[in-house]
Amino acid sequence: MKKVSILIVDDHKLIRETWSFILGSDPRFEVIADCGDPEKAIELAAAYKPNVVLMDINMTPMSGFDATERIRQAS
């Protein structure tokens, strides 16, 4: 069975680490990358092409909504 690849984007390191631990504990999922910057998230999504992006919506200088829209446009 192929694992679901996940990119975690949140400006709080503890949140990213917690989600990585929880999802990494389940054999169905693979956290392929995480970052705290929306611009970096766009680059990582283009490079790794994750199945799922777990995105924080309250970030600066770009919101999670705007970053998600840019990721969708590039996909």
- Angle CA(65)–CA(70)–CA(75) in degrees, nearest 5? 125
The model's confidence at residue 60, banded by pLDDT at 50, 70 and 90, is confident
Give percent of the chain with pLDDT exceeding 70. Answer: 100
Could you report the per-residue pLDDT of 23-50, keeping only the tens digit for each? 999 999 999 999 999 999 999 999 999 9
Mean pLDDT score, 9-17: 97
The per-residue pLDDT for 38 is: 95
The per-residue pLDDT for 27 is: 97
Angle between helix 64-74 and helix 38-48 axes, rounded to 10 deg:
30
The pTM score is 0.93
